[in-house]
Amino acid sequence: MTVSFRWGAATHEGTVRDQNEDAFAAQEGLFLVADGMGGHQAGEVAAALAIAALTEHLGEITDIDDVVALVRRANDHILDESRNDHSRQGMGTTLTGLVLIHPVDGDEPVLGVVNVGDSRTYRLRHGELRRLTVDHSYVQELVTDGLITADEARFHPRRNIVTRALGIEDPLDVDGWTLPAVRGDRFLICSDGLVDEVPEPEIRDVVTGVADPQQAAEQLVDMALRHGGRDNVTVVVVDVAEGMDPAADREELVAEMGADPHWADGAPDPTWSEDMPPAEAEAVAATDPAADVAHETVAESPDVPSVAPDHVTPETTGAPAPKRRRGRLAGFLFWLLVVAILAGAFVIVAAYARSGYFVDFTDDERVMIYKGRPDGVLWFDPTEANPTTLRRASLDESSVALVESRPTFSSLDAAAEFVTGLSTTTTTTTTTPPTTTVAPTTAPPRTTVPGPTAGTTVP
């Protein structure tokens, strides 16, 4: 089977920013968008490194694991550059898109989808535009939890907080899976500069209505600018010109593929939803482990019986002596069990209450790293673990908001790294250069929360 593409691409720095830190690749078999962050051109460098990692090694890719490995290698490269060059400290980038994979065993070529961060890949089929990638962002977690709608996320003051990006954490968690290359499918790959500005129905109108992919890409960028253009905007539109015949249903596709498409980590593909009604697909997306990054689920406290259950002791039954002895033994064992459960529950609650760290303001407005849980657990209150030199007054608005959200971390190091990354309105509050970068614009800065918080682990 031959697979070929038609494509178009457009990018613009927007109406507010004076630099374009987005980057893209659009060549036969490789279509990517990267949204760099870091200021002083560092974001541009990070985005370019991410794109180059795949363009330079495209010929080596024979399965999705290769794609994931290349993205991780790019992550290492960006982290190295970041450590070695002070002007590039804290740079990072998102990365999403499509890679045509030619398996070595002679199987049909497939499309690899890759995603880290909040740039997006959509697929249009039968007139339906469906998002393939799950954003790794703070607002996506709110959407997943049902706290805000996807449309409200576009205007949320913290919409620029990404929970995963290249250049931020090591090892990097990469979403990667494969799809069949179906003739007639169209893909839209874009930075958040498009989706934060333009409502999805308007995007769909252009993607479905404009046949030429280059014209479609340019029109979408123009729309983003007309809607405000607060951010860099990049759009790649890809048509599968030759490929597998369009299938009538999912079963047929699965039969042709030999198996369901899969994630690189072996988990089921949450976006494989050809025939799912939207509600069901949403439910699957909501359980996607990828959507749970940095999302802390509070463990249920074990059920602790506060009163003895209905239990009739032998004493109350007037049973004969031998049975009474057995009854006493049973009663003793029962209470022993209750005591053991209570003791176990105490240990678990205590360990849970004292696990993890979070950052908050003290009563006198200093930034403090606390040990424990933000609101305490039962009679275990959090304690001050590590004071910082930062004060509320020295932080910029977005950093104040970040601290007020009382983010949690699995380690003191991770919490300290977060504090180091807070942006200040002055230049002398920290000795370590910040990892959070304020872009020279009126739009909120893109920031990252380091690493997924394994908040429920007990040390």
Q: Which residues bind Mg ion (CB under 5 A)?
A: 35, 191-193, 231
φ, ψ of residue 32 in degrees (nearest 5): -140, 150
Provide the residue type at 142 as one letter: L
Instruction: Count CB atoms within 10 A of the CB of residue 245.
Output: 11
Closer residue to Mg ion (CB): 143 or 264: 143
Q: Nearest distance from residue 410's CB to Mg ion, in Å?
A: 28
C-alpha 297/C-alpha 452 separation (Å) is 12
Nearer to Mg ion, 63 or 118 (CB): 118
Task: Identify which of residues 192 and 239 has a Cβ nearer to Mg ion in the complex.
Answer: 192
Q: How far is the CB of 41 from Mg ion (least distance, A)?
A: 15
Q: What is the DSSP string of 196-231?
A: TTS-HHHHHHHHHH--SHHHHHHHHHHHHHHTT--S
**Distance between CA atoms of 153 and 288, rounded to whole angstroms?**
19
Q: How far is CA 44 from CA 40, 60, 61, 212, 310, in A?
A: 9, 25, 25, 28, 68
- Chain length of the chain: 459
Contact assessment for residue 231 and residue 443, using Cβ atoms and an 8 Å cutoff: yes
In the bound state with Mg ion, the residue whose beta carbon lies nearer, of 123 and 230, is 230
Q: How far is the CB of 365 from Mg ion (least distance, A)?
A: 32
CB of 342 to Mg ion, least distance (A): 52
As measured in angstroms, the least distance from the Cβ of 446 to Mg ion is 7
Min CB(192)–Mg ion separation in Å: 4
Q: Name the 3-class secondary structure at 380.
A: strand
Q: How far is the CB of 118 from Mg ion (least distance, A)?
A: 8
Of 141 and 231, which has the nearer Cβ to Mg ion?
231
Residue 182 or 224 with smaller CB distance to Mg ion: 224
Sequence-distant (≥ 6) Cβ neighbours of residue 306 within 8 angstroms: none
Nearer to Mg ion, 93 or 394 (CB): 93
